[in-house]
Structure 1
């Protein structure tokens, strides 16, 4: 994975979505057996989520 940045990193602006969120309806070929504490603590998408605006 490659990350390109245009500014310094600020942890308070970090976000994410859970890989196991049922809203994505991903049928993973293998079970998720290792997930960081940070990733496991991310919230599930809210039913009102309409996408990302940049």
Structure 2
């Protein structure tokens, strides 16, 4: 029971302090990188498609 309370507290605190959570920040960073990579890839693709016409 104490273990579960500890886990709940950890989850709640983790949720409240997610700005300070390195793992979450890391995941957010990866998401952002993916967005930028997709944008670059789409630009590259559209250039290739334009050239091939």
Q: TM-score, normalised by structure 1?
A: 0.20
Q: Give 1 or 2: higher helix fraction.
A: 2
Question: Looking at both structures, which has the greater relative contact order when contacts are Cα pairs under 8 Å and sequence separation is at least 6?
Answer: 1
Q: TM-score, normalised by structure 2?
A: 0.20
Q: Which structure: larger Rg?
A: 2
